[in-house]
A and B are shown apart, each in its own frame.
Chain A
Amino acid sequence: MLARHAEDLFWLGRYIERAEDTARMLDVTYHNLLESPAVDETTAWRELLEVLYLDATYEGPLHGRAVSAYLVTDRSNPGSVISAVERARDNARGLRDRLSTELWEAINVFYLEVARADFAGNVQDRAYEVFANIKSRCQLINGVAAQTMPRDEGYRFLMLGWLLERAEMTCRLLAVRYARMAASEGQMGFHAWVSVLKSVSAYEAYLKAHDAALNPTHVLEFLLLDKEFPRSVLYCLQQVERVLGMLAGSGEQSPLMRAIGKVRARAEYVDVAAIVGKGLEDFLEGLQREIYEVSDELEDRFFRAGTDLALHSYRWA
């Protein structure tokens, strides 16, 4: 398929995942502040911005209304939900002949919703409702894609966008929150762990797999290494490796396959108990770096055909 189409599908997946993660984390932060008065509001919002890589660019006050406006409806913020949805829709328009009609409609309806004049007001007045709606729109798009798209090359690039964004986000969440959580004790620590689990929709799944005691090592293991939970870092990386294997052909020796193999193995064989308290931050940082490398290699491998020729392509003209 056209490299541009593949790249647009990849980013379409990323944008939708980004919108969903942003809405979920906003939701969790709001709830957390309501339920545990001990949590410092300024810290909570700063951390959220940090998880989303927006702490350096955000200049407004650190309270809920301002931060949620910035994260949801601010078009000047390229990482906001509205920016993500608009870009996703732009990509989808260019991919019309590759997307199922149902998938196009799901994306278009989402776009029409966030483009409505009263959307910004609703984010302020009925925040929970709006966040819940953003999440369900993203999940609908995810589900419609799974139900209506043929499992061809295009679908695989869409999946890769989703999976890599998700793996990155979970890593980032753990890296940012870990410092505070490690220092927390008692009730405070408990709530912090619950909020981390909820931030990736993992609370209920965790309780089924373990119990309500919320042992920090278990939580880390769960979010990093669980083989069944679809948002754990290892699960995402294993899926990425599987999909890349299908795209590249199994057994391909390439920088891309080495990059994904390396980061997947690093995650798979880590001894969490051994690095908790010493070295976890380094580990998470390394993991994030290697996930970026996978993205970079993916772009080189699939999206950049002929780039080396472009400069001298009409030398004879």
Chain B
Amino acid sequence: MGSFDEVQGPDGVRPHYRLLMDRLEEIGNEDLAMRSRLLDSFFRTLGITFALSGNEAGLERTWPMDLVPRIIPAEEWAHIEEGLVQRVTVLNRFLDDLYTGSQSAIKDGIVPQWLIDSADGYVRDAHGIPVPGGWRCVVSGIDIVRDGDGVYRVLEDNLRVPSGVSYVLENRVAMTRVLPVGFASHRIRPVDHYGASLLRSLRAIAPPMVTDPTVVVLTPGVANSAYFEHAFLARQMGVELVEGRDLLVDDRYVYMRTTRGLKRVHVIYRRVGDEFLDPVAFRQDSLLGVPGLVGAARGGTVTVANAIGNGVADDKGIYPFVPDLVRYYLGEEPILPNVTTYLPWEPDQLEHIISRIDQLVVKPVSESGGYGIVIGTSADDATLAETAESLRANPRGYIAQEVVQLSTHPTLVDGRLQPRHIDLRPFVLSGDGIEVVPGGLTRVALTEGSLIVNSSQGGGSKDTWVLENGKRDAGPTR
């Protein structure tokens, strides 16, 4: 099956792209390349960079953004939004049921117990830690791809500390500066309220009886590759950006150290992994965490967002069960389908995978960022044989999926527009109902034919325009 092109349909340029493509043609490739350089210097001056993990601090890269925006028409977006609200509702329910509820999805045989127990992101210590409203996924990043038929499918859920939203906002600002003519002719739904919406969601999950909660963003520090985003979000929300050493727990309450003494903290939007939250509960060797924090969260005096232990629900081994969870909790059919997935721990499926290994994608369940993925159609025989061995040795460690030929989109490469594969990571906020930020982060694989869009592997990004419908829609909530 070939790729679906976002712009070129069977009858030429799709209607919602006509205006933009006309404009780009008027501007011309040379002028576009000039504007692209302008864009790069815009990001450099502002210091909008990311560092590849494991790299020296000096090697910060500018954020690679492509000038050609991705456009999603209103009715398509309405479909995506509805599907995201449905999915995130269920993921919240599943996690809350698992950690503070009756674990009905397990008891009723929807998800096998052993699969939960063997998930890397499953945290036994998280049992009994309450989250007001059960909103365990305050920020979810749901990765969506478009298959050869143009069907939007969920590729993976990111429910721990999904990153990238700062680039959504910065891309938009950059585009208005560099390509204002593109904007003038479109009605695009704004994204700049994200900080306010995030703050509202976080305040909504404050411990009960707290009328004016203090919210902080917890970062591992300047050495972290996403530090720019942590600082950005703190600034957007107007709250303090703290490190572990700025917090302390005394008598089950969490405080931050300020110039005016200790100040109570009620909600922690943490951008550190579970294992670095609290050396008492998790890693005794870690200097990053706040001793006693997990105990305070268990006592309900502070809310940690996203909740501890969320990794169990975005485990790639749990992913295949999400459609069943939708049916189980809501009695509805999933609006956004998964990518067809095979489970190596089921003996017959393992044989199926191995017999078709040169046609499938094999993914390690515990890796993210595109690491460890083997794409059967492009891997050599030695790699395939090695992968088959790994599957037999550790079937729980992998899943296999049909190759999705991600949709393509014109992208400025070497001074001219060329089709490149893209995906989409919309950001979904839970807490004060569920709200989806219009659009999200469109990532693009800059290498011709490549399906790996992760910025850690040389991917770029695009501004993502969701067009306004005739009448403004507040978006569905639940």
Residues of A within 8 A of B (CB): 1-4, 6, 90, 93-94, 96-97, 101, 104-105, 108, 153, 157, 247, 302-306, 309-310, 313-314, 316-317
Contact = CB atoms under 8 A, between A and B. Distances in A.
B251 A305 contact: no
Given A90-B222, A101-B46, A314 B249 contact: yes
Interface in B245-295: 245-246, 248-252, 255-262, 280, 291-292, 295
Contact of B257 (A2, A90, A317): A2
Contacts of B246: 2-4
B236 to A, nearest CB: 9
B222 A316 contact: no
A1 B47 contact: no
Contacts of A3: 246, 257-259
Contacts of A302: 259
Nearest to B236: A97
Given A4-B246, A97-B241, A317 B259 contact: no
Contact of A316 (B221, B235, B248, B252): B252
Contacts of B245: 4
Contacts of A2: 240, 242, 246, 256-259
B292 A317 contact: yes
B222 A94 contact: yes
B5 interface: no
A94 B234 CA distance: 12
Contacts of A93: 222, 227
B231 interface: yes
Given A101-B46, A316-B292, 16 more contacts: A1-B240, A3-B257, A3-B259, A6-B259, A93-B227, A96-B228, A96-B231, A97-B231, A97-B232, A247-B259, A305-B258, A306-B250, A306-B262, A313-B292, A314-B280, A316-B251
Contacts of B227: 93
Nearest to B240: A2
A313 B257 contact: no
B243 interface: yes
A212 B260 CA distance: 49
A104 B221 contact: no
B257 A305 contact: yes
Interface string B37-73: 0000000011100000000000000000000000000
A310 B256 CA distance: 12
Contacts of A309: 248, 250, 262
A97 B195 CA distance: 14
Contacts of A97: 231-232, 234-235, 241
Contacts of A108: 47
A236 B176 CA distance: 47
B305 to A, nearest CB: 19
Contacts of B257: 2-4, 304-306
Contacts of A153: 259
Contacts of B260: 305
Contacts of A305: 257-262
6 contacts: A108-B47, A305-B257, A306-B250, A313-B292, A316-B295, A317-B295
A105 B47 CA distance: 9
Contacts of A303: 259
Contacts of B251: 316
Contacts of B243: 4
A63 to B, nearest CB: 33
Contacts of B248: 306, 309-310, 313
A93 to B, nearest CB: 5
Contact of A313 (B46, B261, B291): B291
A317 B250 contact: no
A240 to B, nearest CB: 16
The 5 A-B residue pairs with the shortest CB-CB distance, nearest first, are A314-B292, A305-B257, A3-B257, A97-B235, A302-B259
Contacts of B221: 94
Contacts of A96: 47, 228, 231
A4 B242 CA distance: 9
A28 to B, nearest CB: 34
Q: Which of B45, B252, B258 counts the most chain A CB atoms within 10 A?
A: B258
B59 to A, nearest CB: 13
Nearest to B260: A305
Contacts of B291: 313-314, 317
A101 B44 CA distance: 13
Q: Which of A90, A101, A309 counts the most chain B CB atoms within 10 A?
A: A309
A252 B280 CA distance: 39
B256 to A, nearest CB: 6
B63 to A, nearest CB: 15
Nearest to B216: A2
A306 B255 contact: yes
Contact of A104 (B47, B222, B252): B47
A67 B295 CA distance: 55
Contacts of B222: 90, 93-94
Interface string B194-231: 00000000000000000000000000011000011001
